[in-house]
Amino acid sequence: MDTSDFRNGLSLIYEGNIFTIVEFQHVKPGKGGAFVRSKLKNLKTGATIDKTWRAGERMDQAVLERRPMQYLYSLEDEAHLMDSETFEQISIPVTQVGQQAKYLKENTEIQVILHKEDIVGVNLPDFAELEVIETDPGVRGDTATGGTKPATLEGGAVVMVPLFINIGEKLRVDTRTDTYLERVKS
C-alpha cells in the first residue's frame, strides 16, 4: 500500500512494529513535493508517534483479525482466555492487556486483536459494572456539596465517585476514561 491508501483506523507495519493510523493529513506545499503527516499508535505499547511520509511512499499493510474471547481468570502474571467460537483456552501476559487489566472481571467478553496468529492487542468493553470494595463511608447530607472521593473497585481500579457511594454498591464506569457514570440497581 502507499500513502494514497491512508485512512483512519488502517494498520501498517513500520520499523518492525504494528501501528494504527489515528489521523493523517495530505499536504501539497507551493514548493516541493507533496507529503503526508500522520499520527500513528503502536498496538503493543499504546504509544503514539508523529511520522511524515513522502507522497506515494510504500509500506506494508498489517492485516489484523479481531476475535471475540471470554476472560476466565488471572493466575500469577497470566490472563486466561477462552475463544468464544472454538472454546480453546489460551493464556497471555497480563501486561499485554495494559492499563485496562484493572477492569477485567470473570466472564467478561473482550476482543483480541491478532496478526498472523500472534496476539497484538486486547480491547475491553467501553463500560464495566463493578462492585465497590473500598471507600470512605458516606455521610448523610453529603450530596449537596457535590464532592468526590476515591473508591477501589473489584479488579483494583480506583475511580472518583460521589460522596454518597458506599462499599458493596455496584457502579457503571467508563473504562476508556476511568470515570464513574452511575449506580447500578441490583
Please state the pTM of the whole predicted model.
0.71
Distance CA 21, CA 118 (A): 20
State mean pLDDT over 75-100: 86
What domains does the chain contain, in order, with CATH numbers? Answer: 3-61 (2.30.30.30), 65-123 (2.40.50.140), 127-183 (2.40.50.140)
C-alpha cell of residue 99: 492499563
Contact between 36 and 52 (Cβ < 8 Å): yes
State mean pLDDT over 73-92: 89
State mean pLDDT over 151-161: 90
Question: For 148, phi and psi rounded to 5 degrees?
Answer: -135, 165
pLDDT digits (tens, 9 = 90+) for 95-133: 887 788 888 888 889 998 888 888 888 888 999 999 999
Q: How many residues does the chain have?
A: 186
Confidence of residue 145 (pLDDT cuts 50, 70, 90): low
* Vertex 69: Cα angle to 79 and 172 (nearest 5): 80
Contact between 165 and 181 (Cβ < 8 Å): no
Q: Which residue has the cell 455521610?
A: 139
Q: How far is CA 55 from CA 19, 29, 50, 52, in A?
A: 19, 12, 16, 9
